[in-house]
């Protein structure tokens, strides 16, 4: 009944009447996402009628009402089939100021029309394969990048940027060809990085360092939404970058990583928005070549170094291990380096563990990121080792019992999800410099058995990667308890069927094989 009345007015009424009836329809169906199939034909005709109105010279308020109803109707895939034509797409591109001949965004009164047109395009492109093909034909990605450049450094048009970015994300998600076009032809990496810089109001203090105001206000909801959409679009643009990374791209990736470091150190308007912002930053950091992630940490200034020395001197002399990491003025410092961003990633990881669900989607990206950072960057590994695997003092409880980060990660080593337990074990193994004896010290043999079996290290030894030879510090508690560990050893069968320590059993089989070869 609503569609029938609206269709009648759209076909025969003047602009004022059309605006009123469509505004009423929009108010009533604003939250409608499922439609009755009996009125499907009427909705198709209403869509067609609205497009015919939009090509006329009508007031801005009437345009907005038409577009709001079109956005609601475009949630229905079946309705889109007959109305998704090149001509209708071009109408929306014109209203969204996506035509290349439009050089400015000066008329503020037009902004609601631009925003609603972009919203309609988002729905139509997402729900219609025909629209996706037409987007390629109309070179929509290039037009969206051009509109973004018009929006540069103009915060009062955040809604336009937000839905422009959302449409870029959808196009790059649905078309691999558009990812390549954005990455190379349209210079999407620097363009989208600049969008993030603008959203965060970044002020650079060095080539890859930005000023952080810990007492500053949180991001506004609009700035946060823009940043999240830009992060998602950048993820698609860089999804294969680690495979095709060229040395000439290092600077751009480092700039992006520095912007992401800034992102990790600021907060959104709510805790949930902050987590969403940081989650997308983690996902994007996973696409950055690991050699460029060194910008996540930075040396202290001369003033900060002097403050650190004073703070260290104030610690008791018997707290040597604790002297390595100092928290002052909200800054996490380790070995003369600012580790704030790494500490945020570690806290983010622990929060995801504590959630207790969706580990594969929510936890593995940050665990993988921390693992690769630790493997490639010594200072990051040493800092994380200090935080996750501090000198062992509790030797009475099993490694998986307790509430420390180590206890939580050890519990994940026997998780039912293979991918989750593999990455948790890998992270701890890297923190132990891939030394079996060190891993067993912190996790116990039973928890580590899966990883060691997969690596062929059940008899001991170390992994394939090289690490510095800095020594682990054993506490007195661990030194006293260490001999008791010998009560549990990996065992194997000798050729005669008797049980013996696994290393001895393997050696005996090796001797037999050598003898057999000599006989042959």
Q: Give the integer Cα–Cα distance in Å for 147 and 103.
A: 9
Q: Is residue 374 part of a domain?
A: yes
Last residue of a domain, one of 243, 268, 289: 289
Number of domains within the chain: 4
Domain co-membership, 354 together with 398: yes
Domain co-membership, 484 together with 502: no
Domain co-membership, 208 together with 238: yes
Q: What pLDDT sits at residue 8?
A: 85
Q: Which residues pair with 334 in a beta bridge?
A: 325, 337
Q: Is residue 93 part of a domain?
A: yes
Alpha helices in 34-76 (DSSP H): 40-54, 60-73
Domain co-membership, 125 together with 184: no
Number of helices (H) and strands (E) in the chain: give both, helices first. 27, 8
Helix axes 86-95, 111-127, angle to 10 degrees: 150
What is the three-class DSSP state of 210? strand
DSSP string, 110-125: GHHHHHHHHHHHHHHH
Q: What pLDDT sits at residue 137?
A: 95
Q: Is residue 147 part of a domain?
A: no
Range of 409's domain? Answer: 297-301+325-464+480-488
pLDDT digits (tens), the chain, 520 positions: 588 888 888 888 889 999 999 999 999 999 988 888 888 899 999 999 999 999 999 999 999 999 999 999 999 988 888 889 999 999 999 999 998 666 677 788 889 999 999 999 999 999 999 999 999 999 999 999 999 988 875 655 889 999 999 999 999 999 988 999 999 999 999 999 999 999 999 999 999 999 999 888 999 999 999 999 999 999 999 987 655 566 678 899 999 999 999 999 999 999 999 999 999 999 999 999 999 999 999 887 655 555 554 444 454 544 444 445 555 555 688 888 999 999 999 999 999 999 988 899 999 999 999 999 999 999 999 999 999 999 888 778 899 999 999 999 999 999 999 999 999 999 999 999 999 999 999 999 889 999 999 888 887 777 666 666 655 566 555 555 565 575 456 666 677 766 677 677 777 766 666 555 444 4
Q: Is residue 311 part of a domain?
A: no
Domain co-membership, 371 together with 515: no
Q: Is residue 44 part of a domain?
A: yes
Residues with Cβ within 8 Å of residue 504, at least 6 apart in sequence: 492, 494
Q: Are strands 325-328 and 298-299 parallel, antiparallel or unpaired?
A: unpaired
DSSP string, 119-181: HHHHHHHHH-HHHHHHHHHTTHHHHHHHHHHHTTT-GGGHHHHHHHHHHHHHHHHH-HHHHHI
Domain co-membership, 484 together with 497: no
Query: Which whole-number Å values give the CA distances from 269 to 106, 155, 396, in the listed order?
Result: 29, 17, 44
Q: Are strands 491-493 and 325-328 parallel, antiparallel or unpaired?
A: unpaired
182 secondary structure, DSSP code: I
Q: Give the integer Cα–Cα distance in Å for 160 and 439.
A: 52
Domain co-membership, 177 together with 237: yes
- 171 burial level (CB within 10 Å; 0-12, 13-18, 19+): buried
Domain co-membership, 274 together with 396: no
Q: Is residue 23 part of a domain?
A: yes
Q: Is residue 312 part of a domain?
A: no
Q: What pLDDT sits at residue 227?
A: 96
Residue 154, phi then psi, degrees to nearest 5: -120, 90
Q: Where are the beta strands (DSSP E) in 188-329?
A: 204-206, 209-210, 298-299, 325-328
Q: Give the integer Cα–Cα distance in Å for 52 and 200.
A: 41
Last residue of a domain, one of 289, 312, 344: 289
Q: Is residue 470 part of a domain?
A: no
Domain co-membership, 457 together with 355: yes
Residue 431, phi then psi, degrees to nearest 5: -60, -30
Domain co-membership, 60 together with 168: no
261-279 burial: b if 16+ Cβ within 10 Å, else e: bbbbbbbbbeeebbbbbbb
Q: Are 408 and 353 in contact (CB under 8 A)?
A: yes
Q: Give the integer Cα–Cα distance in Å for 145 and 171.
A: 12
Residues with Cβ within 8 Å of residue 47, at least 6 apart in sequence: 70, 73, 74, 79, 80, 82, 83
CA nearest to 99, candidates 156, 154, 142, 151: 142
Residue 462, phi then psi, degrees to nearest 5: -150, 165
Domain co-membership, 128 together with 196: no
CA nearest to 444, candidates 390, 399, 385: 399
Last residue of a domain, one of 104, 138, 172: 138
Domain co-membership, 424 together with 446: yes
């Amino acid at each position: 009944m609503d569609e029938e009345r609206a269709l009648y007015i759209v076909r025969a009424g003047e602009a004022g009447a059309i605006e009123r009836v469509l505004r009423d329809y929009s108010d009533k169906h604003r939250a409608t996402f499922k439609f009755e199939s009996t009125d499907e034909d009427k909705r198709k005709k209403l869509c067609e009628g609205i497009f015919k109105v939009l090509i006329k010279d009508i007031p801005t308020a009437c345009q907005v009402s038409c577009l709001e109803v079109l956005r609601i109707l475009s949630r229905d895939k079946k309705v889109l089939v007959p109305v998704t034509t090149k001509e209708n797409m071009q109408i929306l591109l014109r209203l969204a100021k996506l035509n290349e001949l439009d050089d400015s965004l000066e008329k503020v009164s037009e902004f609601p029309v631009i925003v609603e047109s972009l919203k309609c395009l988002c729905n139509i492109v997402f729900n219609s394969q025909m629209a996706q093909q037409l987007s390629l034909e109309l070179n929509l990605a290039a037009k969206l990048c051009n509109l973004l450049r018009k929006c540069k450094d103009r915060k009062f048009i955040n809604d336009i940027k937000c839905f422009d970015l959302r449409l870029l994300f959808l196009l790059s998600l649905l078309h691999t060809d558009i990812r390549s076009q954005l990455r190379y032809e349209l210079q999407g990496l620097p363009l989208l990085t600049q969008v993030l810089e603008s959203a965060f109001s970044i002020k650079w203090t060095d080539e890859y360092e930005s000023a952080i105001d810990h007492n500053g206000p949180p991001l506004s909801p609009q700035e946060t939404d823009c940043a999240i959409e830009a992060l998602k679009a950048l993820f698609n643009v860089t999804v294969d970058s680690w495979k095709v990374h060229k040395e000439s791209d290092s600077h751009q990736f480092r700039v992006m990583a520095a912007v992401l470091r800034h992102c990790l150190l600021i907060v959104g308007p709510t805790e949930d928005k902050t987590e969403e912002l940081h989650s997308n930053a983690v996902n994007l950091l996973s696409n950055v070549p690991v050699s460029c992630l060194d910008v996540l940490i930075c040396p202290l200034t001369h003033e900060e170094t002097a403050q650190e020395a004073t703070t260290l001197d104030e610690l008791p002399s018997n707290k040597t291990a604790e002297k390595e990491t100092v928290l002052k003025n909200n800054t996490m410092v380790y070995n003369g380096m600012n580790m704030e961003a790494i500490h945020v990633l570690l806290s983010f990881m622990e929060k995801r563990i504590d959630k207790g669900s969706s580990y594969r989607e929510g936890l593995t990206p940050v665990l993988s990121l921390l693992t690769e950072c630790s493997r490639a960057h010594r200072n990051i590994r040493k800092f994380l080792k200090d935080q996750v695997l501090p000198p062992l003092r509790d030797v009475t409880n099993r490694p998986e019992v307790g509430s420390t980060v180590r206890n939580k990660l050890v519990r994940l080593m026997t998780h039912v999800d293979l991918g989750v337990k593999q990455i948790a074990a890998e992270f701890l193994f890297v923190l132990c410099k891939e030394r079996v004896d060190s891993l067993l010290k912190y996790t116990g043999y039973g928890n580590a058995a899966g990883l060691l079996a997969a690596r062929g290290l059940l008899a001991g030894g170390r992994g394939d990667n090289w690490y510095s030879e800095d020594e682990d510090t054993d506490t007195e508690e661990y030194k006293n308890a260490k001999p008791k560990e010998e009560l549990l050893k990996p065992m194997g069968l000798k050729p005669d069927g008797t049980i013996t320590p696994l290393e001895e059993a393997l050696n005996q089989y090796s001797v037999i094989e050598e003898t057999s070869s000599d006989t042959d």
